[in-house]
Amino acid sequence: MPRTLAISGASGLVGQALQDHLRGRGDEFRPLVRGTQPGPNEIPWKPGEAVEARHWEGVDALVHLAGENIASGRWNASRKERLWKSRVEATRALCEGLAAAPRRPRVLVCASAIGIYGDRGDEVLRETSAPGEGFLAELAQAWESACDPARAVGIRVVHLRFGIILSKDGGALAKMLTPFRFGVGGRVGSGHQYWSWVSLHDVVRAIEFAIERDDLHGPVNVVSPTCPTNRQFTEALGRALGRPTVLPLPAFAAKLALGSEMAEGLLLASARVEPQALLESGFQFEHPTLAQAFGAILE
Protein backbone atom coordinates (compact mmCIF):
# COMPACT_ATOMS: atom_id res chain seq x y z
CA MET A 1 0.00 0.00 0.00
CA PRO A 2 1.47 3.39 -0.98
CA ARG A 3 2.64 5.60 1.86
CA THR A 4 3.41 9.26 2.40
CA LEU A 5 6.94 9.80 3.63
CA ALA A 6 8.49 13.03 4.85
CA ILE A 7 12.27 13.11 4.37
CA SER A 8 14.82 15.56 5.71
CA GLY A 9 18.14 15.56 3.91
CA ALA A 10 16.30 14.36 0.80
CA SER A 11 18.85 15.89 -1.56
CA GLY A 12 21.78 14.04 0.02
CA LEU A 13 23.35 10.76 -1.05
CA VAL A 14 21.08 8.55 1.07
CA GLY A 15 17.97 10.69 0.62
CA GLN A 16 18.15 10.60 -3.17
CA ALA A 17 18.84 6.86 -3.22
CA LEU A 18 15.91 6.25 -0.87
CA GLN A 19 13.51 8.11 -3.13
CA ASP A 20 14.74 6.23 -6.18
CA HIS A 21 14.39 2.93 -4.34
CA LEU A 22 10.84 3.50 -3.08
CA ARG A 23 9.38 5.41 -6.02
CA GLY A 24 8.38 2.19 -7.76
CA ARG A 25 5.98 1.44 -4.90
CA GLY A 26 3.97 4.52 -5.70
CA ASP A 27 4.93 6.19 -2.42
CA GLU A 28 4.55 9.96 -2.10
CA PHE A 29 7.55 11.95 -0.86
CA ARG A 30 7.44 15.26 0.97
CA PRO A 31 10.98 16.61 1.35
CA LEU A 32 11.69 19.01 4.18
CA VAL A 33 13.22 22.05 2.48
CA ARG A 34 14.65 25.37 3.51
CA GLY A 35 13.33 28.59 2.05
CA THR A 36 10.08 30.49 2.02
CA GLN A 37 8.61 29.17 -1.23
CA PRO A 38 8.45 25.36 -1.06
CA GLY A 39 6.96 23.33 -3.89
CA PRO A 40 3.48 21.78 -3.68
CA ASN A 41 4.72 18.53 -2.10
CA GLU A 42 7.50 20.07 0.00
CA ILE A 43 7.49 20.89 3.71
CA PRO A 44 9.10 24.20 4.72
CA TRP A 45 11.61 23.72 7.53
CA LYS A 46 14.20 25.87 9.21
CA PRO A 47 16.61 23.58 11.11
CA GLY A 48 16.45 24.43 14.78
CA GLU A 49 12.75 25.24 14.61
CA ALA A 50 9.60 23.12 14.61
CA VAL A 51 7.65 22.33 11.46
CA GLU A 52 4.10 23.70 11.44
CA ALA A 53 1.72 21.02 12.71
CA ARG A 54 -0.48 21.11 9.62
CA HIS A 55 2.33 19.71 7.48
CA TRP A 56 2.31 16.40 9.37
CA GLU A 57 -1.27 15.59 8.42
CA GLY A 58 -1.35 12.51 6.22
CA VAL A 59 2.35 11.72 6.75
CA ASP A 60 2.90 8.05 7.64
CA ALA A 61 6.62 8.18 8.41
CA LEU A 62 9.42 10.71 8.84
CA VAL A 63 12.90 9.74 7.71
CA HIS A 64 15.29 12.23 9.29
CA LEU A 65 18.66 12.23 7.48
CA ALA A 66 19.66 15.90 7.66
CA GLY A 67 22.96 16.88 9.22
CA GLU A 68 26.11 18.68 8.18
CA ASN A 69 28.75 16.42 6.63
CA ILE A 70 30.98 15.14 9.43
CA ALA A 71 34.04 14.90 7.15
CA SER A 72 33.81 18.15 5.21
CA GLY A 73 36.13 20.21 7.41
CA ARG A 74 38.53 20.12 10.35
CA TRP A 75 36.98 19.74 13.78
CA ASN A 76 37.80 23.11 15.26
CA ALA A 77 35.49 24.66 17.86
CA SER A 78 33.20 26.41 15.38
CA ARG A 79 32.97 23.32 13.19
CA LYS A 80 32.00 21.14 16.15
CA GLU A 81 29.33 23.66 17.11
CA ARG A 82 27.83 23.51 13.60
CA LEU A 83 27.84 19.72 13.64
CA TRP A 84 26.14 19.73 17.04
CA LYS A 85 23.48 22.24 15.98
CA SER A 86 22.75 20.46 12.69
CA ARG A 87 22.14 17.17 14.48
CA VAL A 88 21.22 17.61 18.11
CA GLU A 89 19.47 20.98 18.19
CA ALA A 90 17.75 20.52 14.83
CA THR A 91 16.51 17.05 15.76
CA ARG A 92 15.25 18.15 19.17
CA ALA A 93 13.26 21.05 17.70
CA LEU A 94 11.86 18.80 14.98
CA CYS A 95 10.74 16.20 17.55
CA GLU A 96 9.26 18.78 19.90
CA GLY A 97 7.14 19.98 16.98
CA LEU A 98 6.10 16.41 16.19
CA ALA A 99 5.09 15.83 19.80
CA ALA A 100 2.89 18.95 19.81
CA ALA A 101 1.11 18.16 16.54
CA PRO A 102 -2.43 16.72 16.80
CA ARG A 103 -1.69 14.30 13.95
CA ARG A 104 1.73 12.74 13.73
CA PRO A 105 3.68 10.19 11.69
CA ARG A 106 3.52 6.75 13.31
CA VAL A 107 7.27 6.21 12.95
CA LEU A 108 10.41 8.32 13.00
CA VAL A 109 13.47 6.76 11.40
CA CYS A 110 16.42 8.92 12.41
CA ALA A 111 20.00 8.70 11.20
CA SER A 112 22.74 8.01 13.72
CA ALA A 113 26.23 6.55 13.44
CA ILE A 114 28.45 3.77 14.77
CA GLY A 115 30.73 6.54 16.00
CA ILE A 116 28.64 6.21 19.17
CA TYR A 117 30.81 3.20 20.12
CA GLY A 118 34.12 5.06 19.95
CA ASP A 119 37.47 3.29 19.46
CA ARG A 120 37.00 -0.24 20.83
CA GLY A 121 39.76 -2.40 19.30
CA ASP A 122 38.59 -5.93 18.46
CA GLU A 123 35.56 -5.88 20.84
CA VAL A 124 32.39 -7.08 19.10
CA LEU A 125 29.84 -4.27 19.31
CA ARG A 126 26.08 -4.76 19.22
CA GLU A 127 23.13 -2.45 19.87
CA THR A 128 23.30 -3.33 23.58
CA SER A 129 26.97 -2.31 23.86
CA ALA A 130 27.74 0.75 25.96
CA PRO A 131 28.64 4.01 24.20
CA GLY A 132 32.30 4.90 23.86
CA GLU A 133 34.27 8.08 24.40
CA GLY A 134 35.22 11.03 22.23
CA PHE A 135 33.47 13.71 20.23
CA LEU A 136 31.67 11.37 17.81
CA ALA A 137 30.36 9.21 20.64
CA GLU A 138 29.09 12.23 22.56
CA LEU A 139 27.52 13.70 19.43
CA ALA A 140 25.70 10.48 18.53
CA GLN A 141 24.41 9.97 22.08
CA ALA A 142 22.99 13.49 22.18
CA TRP A 143 21.59 13.07 18.65
CA GLU A 144 19.64 9.97 19.67
CA SER A 145 18.46 11.53 22.93
CA ALA A 146 17.12 14.50 20.97
CA CYS A 147 14.36 12.20 19.70
CA ASP A 148 12.96 11.71 23.21
CA PRO A 149 10.03 14.16 22.75
CA ALA A 150 8.73 12.05 19.85
CA ARG A 151 9.24 8.82 21.78
CA ALA A 152 7.39 10.24 24.79
CA VAL A 153 4.14 10.69 22.84
CA GLY A 154 4.17 7.18 21.40
CA ILE A 155 5.91 7.63 18.06
CA ARG A 156 7.98 4.56 17.22
CA VAL A 157 11.56 5.80 16.95
CA VAL A 158 14.34 3.89 15.17
CA HIS A 159 17.95 5.09 15.37
CA LEU A 160 19.84 3.77 12.35
CA ARG A 161 23.51 3.64 13.32
CA PHE A 162 25.22 3.76 9.93
CA GLY A 163 28.68 2.43 9.28
CA ILE A 164 30.83 3.58 6.33
CA ILE A 165 28.34 3.84 3.47
CA LEU A 166 29.82 2.60 0.20
CA SER A 167 28.84 4.31 -3.05
CA LYS A 168 30.79 5.52 -6.06
CA ASP A 169 28.68 8.68 -6.04
CA GLY A 170 29.73 10.03 -2.65
CA GLY A 171 31.17 9.35 0.77
CA ALA A 172 34.45 7.65 1.69
CA LEU A 173 34.61 5.22 -1.23
CA ALA A 174 34.16 7.93 -3.85
CA LYS A 175 37.19 9.73 -2.37
CA MET A 176 39.25 6.53 -2.35
CA LEU A 177 38.60 5.46 -5.93
CA THR A 178 40.94 7.87 -7.72
CA PRO A 179 44.12 7.17 -5.72
CA PHE A 180 43.40 3.43 -5.71
CA ARG A 181 42.84 3.40 -9.48
CA PHE A 182 46.27 5.00 -9.88
CA GLY A 183 47.83 2.37 -7.63
CA VAL A 184 48.65 4.75 -4.80
CA GLY A 185 46.13 3.46 -2.26
CA GLY A 186 46.83 1.39 0.82
CA ARG A 187 46.07 0.80 4.46
CA VAL A 188 45.58 3.67 6.90
CA GLY A 189 47.77 3.64 9.97
CA SER A 190 48.42 0.12 11.23
CA GLY A 191 45.56 -1.28 9.17
CA HIS A 192 44.47 -3.37 12.15
CA GLN A 193 41.45 -1.18 12.99
CA TYR A 194 38.05 -2.60 12.06
CA TRP A 195 36.04 -0.70 9.46
CA SER A 196 32.33 -1.47 9.65
CA TRP A 197 30.73 -0.73 6.28
CA VAL A 198 27.47 -1.13 4.35
CA SER A 199 26.52 -0.62 0.71
CA LEU A 200 24.21 2.27 -0.14
CA HIS A 201 21.84 -0.26 -1.68
CA ASP A 202 21.47 -2.09 1.64
CA VAL A 203 21.17 1.22 3.49
CA VAL A 204 17.99 2.19 1.63
CA ARG A 205 16.63 -1.34 2.02
CA ALA A 206 17.28 -1.11 5.78
CA ILE A 207 15.42 2.22 5.96
CA GLU A 208 12.43 0.68 4.18
CA PHE A 209 12.63 -2.31 6.54
CA ALA A 210 12.66 -0.02 9.59
CA ILE A 211 9.57 1.80 8.34
CA GLU A 212 7.65 -1.40 7.74
CA ARG A 213 8.58 -3.42 10.83
CA ASP A 214 6.42 -2.30 13.74
CA ASP A 215 8.49 -4.39 16.16
CA LEU A 216 11.73 -2.58 15.34
CA HIS A 217 12.63 0.36 17.57
CA GLY A 218 15.58 1.97 19.32
CA PRO A 219 19.16 1.58 18.05
CA VAL A 220 19.74 -0.50 14.92
CA ASN A 221 23.24 -1.06 13.54
CA VAL A 222 23.23 -0.67 9.76
CA VAL A 223 26.47 -2.41 8.84
CA SER A 224 27.35 -5.48 6.82
CA PRO A 225 27.50 -8.77 8.76
CA THR A 226 31.14 -9.13 7.64
CA CYS A 227 33.50 -6.63 9.23
CA PRO A 228 37.06 -6.40 7.82
CA THR A 229 40.09 -4.66 9.18
CA ASN A 230 41.24 -1.60 7.28
CA ARG A 231 44.01 -3.67 5.70
CA GLN A 232 41.48 -6.26 4.50
CA PHE A 233 39.21 -3.49 3.22
CA THR A 234 41.93 -1.84 1.15
CA GLU A 235 43.15 -5.17 -0.21
CA ALA A 236 39.61 -6.05 -1.30
CA LEU A 237 39.24 -2.69 -3.04
CA GLY A 238 42.58 -3.19 -4.77
CA ARG A 239 41.48 -6.61 -6.04
CA ALA A 240 38.19 -5.18 -7.31
CA LEU A 241 40.08 -2.49 -9.24
CA GLY A 242 42.95 -4.73 -10.30
CA ARG A 243 45.47 -2.41 -8.63
CA PRO A 244 48.17 -2.85 -5.97
CA THR A 245 47.66 -1.49 -2.45
CA VAL A 246 51.23 -0.99 -1.33
CA LEU A 247 51.36 2.69 -0.38
CA PRO A 248 50.02 3.11 3.17
CA LEU A 249 48.87 6.36 4.74
CA PRO A 250 50.80 6.57 8.02
CA ALA A 251 48.87 7.60 11.10
CA PHE A 252 50.98 10.75 11.53
CA ALA A 253 50.20 11.81 7.95
CA ALA A 254 46.47 11.32 8.49
CA LYS A 255 46.68 13.43 11.64
CA LEU A 256 48.58 16.17 9.83
CA ALA A 257 46.00 16.22 7.04
CA LEU A 258 42.85 16.13 9.16
CA GLY A 259 43.93 17.04 12.64
CA SER A 260 44.59 14.46 15.33
CA GLU A 261 41.06 14.21 16.75
CA MET A 262 39.35 13.97 13.37
CA ALA A 263 41.82 11.42 11.99
CA GLU A 264 41.50 9.25 15.07
CA GLY A 265 37.69 9.48 15.04
CA LEU A 266 37.14 8.81 11.33
CA LEU A 267 40.09 6.77 10.07
CA LEU A 268 42.10 5.25 12.91
CA ALA A 269 39.37 4.22 15.35
CA SER A 270 38.37 0.56 15.43
CA ALA A 271 34.67 -0.38 15.57
CA ARG A 272 33.85 -4.06 15.04
CA VAL A 273 30.08 -3.69 14.78
CA GLU A 274 27.46 -6.37 14.19
CA PRO A 275 23.93 -5.77 12.80
CA GLN A 276 22.28 -7.94 15.46
CA ALA A 277 18.88 -6.20 15.48
CA LEU A 278 18.49 -6.36 11.70
CA LEU A 279 19.54 -10.01 11.46
CA GLU A 280 17.29 -11.11 14.32
CA SER A 281 14.37 -9.29 12.67
CA GLY A 282 14.88 -11.23 9.43
CA PHE A 283 16.64 -8.62 7.30
CA GLN A 284 18.76 -10.12 4.55
CA PHE A 285 21.71 -8.18 3.14
CA GLU A 286 22.06 -8.27 -0.63
CA HIS A 287 25.72 -7.20 -0.35
CA PRO A 288 27.02 -9.02 2.75
CA THR A 289 30.65 -9.15 1.57
CA LEU A 290 33.03 -6.55 0.18
CA ALA A 291 33.48 -8.58 -2.99
CA GLN A 292 29.74 -8.49 -3.64
CA ALA A 293 29.47 -4.80 -2.77
CA PHE A 294 32.43 -3.70 -4.89
CA GLY A 295 31.23 -5.91 -7.74
CA ALA A 296 27.84 -4.17 -7.76
CA ILE A 297 29.14 -0.66 -7.11
CA LEU A 298 32.01 -0.71 -9.61
CA GLU A 299 30.19 -2.65 -12.33
Among the listed residues 142, 55, 48, the one whose alpha carbon sits nearest the alpha carbon of residue 105: 55
Residue length of the chain: 299
Q: At what angle do helices 135-145 and 77-84 cross, to 10 degrees?
A: 20
Cβ-Cβ contacts under 8 Å for 54 (sequence gap 6 or more): none
Q: Note down pLDDT in tens along the chain; length 299 residues.
A: 789 999 999 999 999 999 998 888 888 999 999 876 778 889 999 999 999 999 999 999 999 999 999 988 889 999 999 999 999 999 999 999 999 999 999 999 999 999 999 999 999 999 999 999 999 999 999 999 999 999 999 999 999 999 999 999 999 999 999 999 988 899 999 999 999 999 999 999 999 999 999 999 999 999 999 999 999 999 999 999 999 998 898 998 888 888 898 889 989 999 999 999 999 999 999 999 999 999 999 98
Cα(48)–Cα(30) distance, integer angstroms: 19
CATH number for the domain spanning 137: value is 3.40.50.720
Cα–Cα distances in Å, from 197 out to 167, 223, 253, 272? 11, 5, 23, 10
Give the whole-angstrom CA distance, residue 200 versus residue 206.
10
Q: Which of 111, 110, 232, 241 is nearest to 165 (CA)?
A: 111
Residues β-bridged to residue 110 = 64, 159
**Number of structural domains the chain divides into:** 1
Measured N-to-C along each axis, helices 200-212 and 13-22 cross at an angle, to the nearest 10 degrees, of: 60
CA distances for 281 relative to 3, 62, 81, 107, 155, angstroms: 22, 21, 36, 17, 20
**C-alpha neighbours within 13 Å on the C-beta side of residue 109:** 30
Q: Is the dihedral of CA 220, 223, 227, 231 positive or negative?
A: negative
What pLDDT was estimated at residue 36? 65
pLDDT at 214: 95
pTM metric for this prediction? 0.95
End-to-end CA, the chain: 33
- Residues of the domain holding 248: 4-297
CA atoms of 68 and 66, how far apart (whole Å): 7
